[in-house]
Structure 1
């Protein structure tokens, strides 16, 4: 390439690589890029393409190195190969961003629970999680998510954290459509780690004022035909880092009926085995985004006690880890890991006599 082309390309690559610096300069936080939406989309594409290109180039270089060792001679990688790798990275990044920002489909999951009261057999819970309302996931996107969640016919809607990226002042208008969520037995929620990045207490007041029944280390009892179902929630593991109360399952269950099945809302799935040991019937989590890209699940699993995406049976408890409804706007790519609005149907599990 001519020198001027190389200089221009290098500057563009450098600019893309500093996406998170520009985000911090725009808002004071790396988690909230405050640019027009098309700019945030463009940055995610460029940064994603750069990351994929780096990975592909390492693979190509390793292949060339192995070839040189085997042949005992210098091997030069064809220019066409490098160009093809760059084009592949750009195309995959574009597909990944498009998959990340679309309005998710409803994913149906059936969960069998031993001793589930007959009144709750067929009970439907819609789970939203990791919405990350931001300049990328705006009010228009949130409105479509609300419409789809309401149309899912849930008895209860829960949000398992990471509502936002930004302060209340920054996100007030974008999050407003969530006020429209409707379900006969109410809308329950817990904070995720991102709420603690942007004035946790202000967000708890705002979400409560919008009609969410927040469950920070607390529970609620849903009653139907004389039978009960407990919906419990805990705070996020990141809370002590900002001097807020960490997750406390004992506090969350204090006073709950002992003969009712318990559905636990916990943003991170990391402590699922502890929940199972306490007799929780079903835990709903998010946080992992399902690994975002096929093949990254092994890496994400290392930080989440092996739990990344979908259903797990943990010591007699069912754990469901959603891929997430939205995604952090600092790296919004999905390849082979679709977003979801989860509709969970509770079923009574036959118990052997």
Structure 2
């Protein structure tokens, strides 16, 4: 093997190594494991991602010297190294091709929507300083960080199978509030205020409301002003398990006038149409038990994670709303997001999707425990539903 081919092979293995670790990181965060277990796994994976290659070079430095010099052949590769190098090379077709196939720019499974975007520098709209901690003050000043640049997206969303009476129905969709104490509650309060001013028929909050116990006292002032004709509904997410007793969050939201949909379905009339509004907090809480064939003309699912898309399809959900993935927290030009805590990787990191019979909207959410957003502004989704007989591909 020539030195040039040896270098190409080594770089291909190295790229496969990073791809394999990135894919594993995304998917391990889709499990409902205790937080401490996931943290341990991700720390080990991060260390292996960074330290693994130089350690391998140090252990088998003689082989690598011969390899890069073009003096080694395949039969001389140490067995552990050969096995892992094979896995890294297999990652190219097995993980790389699906990753490329579902890039946002290609629009696979995406729904074409009309979108009007208003960018609001929230710090200029409130009286208090939004950054409360030294960490937040430093990171929010970084020129690439959009953490306080709210994107208010008014979206006309085509929904296959939507009853004609619900054409024009308005849903304000919020997600991933992540009250950690780093950001002043005025940020989330402003978002709720803007959502209410839009006069939605229904308001939906899809989880990860709170991360730290003292922030429970903020829930009333943030969410009590919310108003929607057909009610305000919420589910919890994985970060809501960080509170010692999640019922404290549920009870505080109930006092604020919001309806807990956790692990159940509620029959309601929306715009004069019989509807079933469902909450799915799996895998962190119990899944609801729903009859797939009870025959409501409209089924609305609030799910923290887009990983429940297949569940929604099996249960004949018309429209599913989700968050959790933060739009990837950062998005590359053309390639889009890389990080996304989902069994699907970054496939459903944000946007609008259709797989019969379900249309799904995934919002980028409002905040996070990581306080940097790159090309990925926090999002308030204002959805106007439109009845269509068939999907509208992007």
TM-score interval, normalised by the smaller of the two chains: 0.5 to 0.7
| 1:127-149 deviation digits (Å, cap 9, x = unpaired) | 00001123223222222112111
| Among 358, 365, 368, the residue aligned to 1:317 | 358
2:307–2:342 Cα contact (<8 Å) kept: no
2:273–2:298 Cα contact (<8 Å) kept: no
SS at match of 2:186: helix
- Supply the distance in 1 between the matched residues of 2:215 and 2:350 (Cα, whole angstroms): 31
- Supply the distance in 2 between the matched residues of 1:225 and 1:299 (Cα, whole angstroms): 38
- Supply the distance in 2 between the matched residues of 1:225 and 1:341 (Cα, whole angstroms): 23
Q: CA deviation at 1:238?
A: 2.3
After TM superposition, the runs of 4+ consecutive aligned structure 1 residues lying more than 4 A away are 254-257
1:212 partnered with 2:307: no
1:37 partnered with 2:37: no
| 1:146-191 deviation digits (Å, cap 9, x = unpaired) | 2111112210000000111211x44303652211111111100001
Q: CA deviation at 1:38?
A: 4.1
Distance 1:174 1:234, change over 3 A: closer
Specify which structure has the higher proportion of helix: 1
| Among 265, 269, 289, the residue aligned to 2:306 | 269
SS at match of 2:189: helix
1:333 partnered with 2:372: yes
Aligned to 1:280: 317
SS at match of 2:194: helix
| 1:222-252 deviation digits (Å, cap 9, x = unpaired) | 325642232211123123xxxxxx223xx1x
1:222 partnered with 2:268: yes
1:276–1:314 Cα contact (<8 Å) kept: yes
1:129–1:159 Cα contact (<8 Å) kept: yes
Q: CA deviation at 1:351?
A: 6.1
1:94 partnered with 2:139: no
1:131–1:324 Cα contact (<8 Å) kept: yes
Aligned to 1:176: 221
Distance 1:342 1:39, change over 3 A: same
Q: CA deviation at 1:94?
A: 0.5
- Supply the distance in 1 between the matched residues of 2:239 and 2:322 (Cα, whole angstroms): 14
Aligned to 2:164: 118
Aligned to 1:348: 387
> Which structure 2 segments of 5+ residues have no match?
1-38, 40-130
Aligned Cα root-mean-square deviation (Å): 2.6
Aligned pairs, how many? Answer: 257
Distance 1:142 1:175, change over 3 A: farther
